[in-house]
Amino acid sequence: MCSLCDAVAVGGGAASTPHFAAAPARRRAAPNKPKAARAPAAPEGVGAVGRKTLIKGGTILSMDPRVGAFAAGDVLIDGSKIAEVAATIDAPDAAVIDASGHIVMPGFIDAHSHQFETALRSFLADGILIDDGRPESAHNYYGSILQKLSMGYRPQDVYINELFAGIAQIDAGVTAVMDISQIHHSPEHSDAAIEGLRAAGRRAVFGYFEGWGEKAKYPHDARRIRERHFSSSDQALSMFMGGEIYLPGYEEAWKVGRELDLPIALHVVGTFGMQPTFDELAKAHKFGPDCFFIHMSEVGWKAAADAGAHVTLAVPIEMHMRHGTPPIQKALDLGMSLSLSTDVECTMTADMFTQMRGVMTLQRMLANELALQGKDYPKLMSVVDALELATMGGARGLKIDGKTGSLTPGKDADIILLDATALNVTPLNHAAGAVVTLMERSNVSTVLCAGQIKKWRGAIVGYDIPKLRSELEASRDFVFAAAGIERDLFRA
C-alpha cells in the first residue's frame, strides 16, 4: 500500500443534528408527526465476483439504441458488469436495489478536468486566460494558476487534490474522467496523481502533461509511468500523453507518446498563438484519430476533422475565460466526435449538468438568432443530444466506449440513479428533459462504479470526508503560502 493512500478511510462522519429555535408560545403546538423513514441500507456484497444485483423498477435511459429505453425497467449486474437490461428481469438470487421513482442511466463522463486545482476552487471566479492589462485581470489563469500556484505543489498536495476531486465528482454522478494536471514536477508528483485517481475508485484517464523544475522528467518519464502503472488494459485507469504545441519541445512529447501507443491530448486555443504551429502539423499530416483536441478555438478545423480527431468542449469556461466562442456548430457540421468537459474548478463547478445546459442553450441561442433574422439555421440541439455528449461522447473521446458510457450488457456497471421524485423534478414528464434541464447534484441518489456502490441514497460511501476536507484545506494553505498569494474572501 502506498503511504499516500493512508488518507482513505472506510466510513464517514455523521452529520451534526441541526437545532431550531422554539416556536413562539402563542402559537398552537403542532401535532406530532412520524419521523421520515430512513433510507434502507445498501445491499451487501454488491460488485463482488459472483454476486448479482438487480436494479429494479426505474426509468431506464440506456444511451444504447440497441438496448433502448424503458418507462419502467430493470438492470441486472453480475459482479462488476452489466448482464441484462429489460422491462422485467427475473433474478431471484440477486440483491435488489429499488429504483422506483428514479432515472437509471450510465454515469457521466468528464473528458477533461484539471483536478489538481480542487484546493483552488473559486479563487479565479472572475478570471480570464491571460493578463489583458486591466486591473481586474491581475489574477489570471496563466499568471496566477500555472506560473505561481501550480509551482508549489508537493506530491501530497497532488494526491489529496486528485482524491477529493474524484469523490466530489462521484457525488455529482461523474463515473469517469480524464485528469489533466500540469504539476508533474517530479516522478513522485506523477505517482501521487495516479494514486489519487486510483483511490477515488472510479474509471479515469491519466493525462501526462508538463511540470516544472529540475526534477521534472516530462516527457521521457512516460515510459516508466506506462510500464509501472498502465501495463494492463484490464484496469480502471488508462493513459493519454500530453503534447501542448505552445511549449518548446512538444515534438519530443508527441514522439514518445506515439512510441508508447498513447493518444495525444492538447489544448488548442487561439489566445496562445498556436495557429502557425497547428497549420504546420496539419500540412505535415501529423494529425490522426489518436489526437484529442481541447477547446479547438479559431484553428484548423478541416485538418482535424479529416484526421478523425476528437474535440472536447468546456462551454461555460470557454465563454467565461475568453477562449473564444465555443465552436459547437463547427464540430457538429463537420460530423466530428465531440464530448463535454468541466475544465477548471478554480473558475467553475465540475458537474456535467452545468455542461449539458451550457452546450445546449448556447447552440440553440446562436441557431435561434439566425432563425429570427430570417436566415437558414441548423438543427436545434435536443436534450437527448446533450445527454449523448455527456455520456457516450466522452467515452468515445477517451477510448473507453467499449467499457462504459451506456447501459450495454458486457460493459462495466458504471450506473447512476437520479431522483425524479425530488421537489425540483416531480412530476416526471420527459426523462432526458428532466436530467438535462431540471436536475443537479442533489438529484444524484446512488452511484455505482464497476458495480461498487460509491454513493448510496444521497451519501458518499467509504471515505472519511471531514478528515479529507481538513487535508485539502491544509494543502490549500500551503500552496497559497508557497506562491506568496493572499486569500481574500471578499476580493472585488
Give residue-wise pLDDT tens across range 439-476.
999 999 999 999 999 999 999 999 999 999 999 999 99
pTM of the model: 0.92
Q: Residue 27 falls within a domain, yes or no?
A: no
Structural domain harbouring 91: 41-107+407-463
Least confident interval from 126-140, 287-301, 315-329: 287-301
Least confident interval from 86-95, 294-303, 318-327, 384-393: 294-303
Q: Residue 143 falls within a domain, yes or no?
A: no
Q: What is the pLDDT of residues 51-64, one digit of tens each?
A: 999 999 999 999 99
The CATH number of whichever domain residue 58 belongs to comes to: 2.30.40.10
pLDDT at position 5 = 45
Q: Residue 31 falls within a domain, yes or no?
A: no
Where residue 298 falls among pLDDT bands split at 50, 70, 90? low
In this prediction, residues 111-118 reach a mean pLDDT of 98
pLDDT at position 271 = 75
Q: Residue 480 falls within a domain, yes or no?
A: no
pLDDT at position 107 = 98
In this prediction, residues 107-131 reach a mean pLDDT of 97
Where residue 273 falls among pLDDT bands split at 50, 70, 90? confident
pLDDT at position 274 = 86
**194 vs 297, more confident:** 194
In this prediction, residues 199-215 reach a mean pLDDT of 97
Q: What is the pLDDT of residues 306-321, one digit of tens each?
A: 999 999 999 999 999 9
Evaluate whether 278 touches 299 at the Cβ level (below 8 Å): yes
Q: Residue 67 falls within a domain, yes or no?
A: yes
Where residue 48 falls among pLDDT bands split at 50, 70, 90? confident
The fraction of the chain above a pLDDT of 70, given in percent, is: 92
pLDDT at position 8 = 39
Evaluate whether 339 touches 312 at the Cβ level (below 8 Å): yes
pLDDT at position 337 = 96
Nearest to 389 by CA among 114, 108, 172, 170: 108
Q: What is the pLDDT of residues 137-180, one digit of tens each?
A: 999 999 999 999 999 999 999 999 999 999 999 999 999 999 99
pLDDT at position 78 = 97
Q: Residue 440 falls within a domain, yes or no?
A: yes
Nearest to 199 by CA among 240, 242, 156: 156
Q: What is the 3-state secondary structure (H, E, C) of the chain?
A: CCHHHHHCCCCCCCCCCCCCCCCCCCCCCCCCCCCCCCCCCCCCCCCCCCCEEEEEEEEEECCCCCCCEEEEEEEEEECCEEEEEECCCCCCCCEEEECCCEEEEECEEEEEECHHHHHHCCCCCCCCCCCCCCHHHCCCHHHHHHCCHHHHCCHHHHHHHHHHHHHHHHHCCEEEEEEECCCCCCHHHHHHHHHHHHHHCCEEEEEECCCCCCCCCCCCCHHHHHHHHCCCCCCCEEEEEECCCCCCCHHHHHHHHHHCCCCEEEEEEHHHCCHHHHHHHHHCCCCCCCEEEEEEECCCHHHHHHHCCEEEECHHHHHHCCCCCCCHHHHHHCCCEEEECCECCCCCCCCHHHHHHHHHHHHHHHHHHHHHCCCCCCCCCCHHHHHHHHHHHHHHHCCCCCCCCCCCCCCECCEEEEECCCCCCCCCCCHHHHHHHHCCHHHEEEEEECCEEEEECCEECCCCHHHHHHHHHHHHHHHHHHHCCCCCCCCC
pLDDT at position 116 = 97
pLDDT at position 37 = 57
pLDDT at position 19 = 35
Q: Residue 63 falls within a domain, yes or no?
A: yes
Where residue 34 falls among pLDDT bands split at 50, 70, 90? very low
Q: Residue 195 falls within a domain, yes or no?
A: no
Q: Taking 60 as the threshold, does the pLDDT of residue 431 lie above it?
A: yes
Q: Taking 90 as the threshold, does the pLDDT of residue 15 lie above it?
A: no
How many domains are contained in the chain?
1
Q: What is the pLDDT of residues 378-429, one digit of tens each?
A: 999 999 999 999 999 999 999 999 999 999 999 999 999 999 999 999 999 9
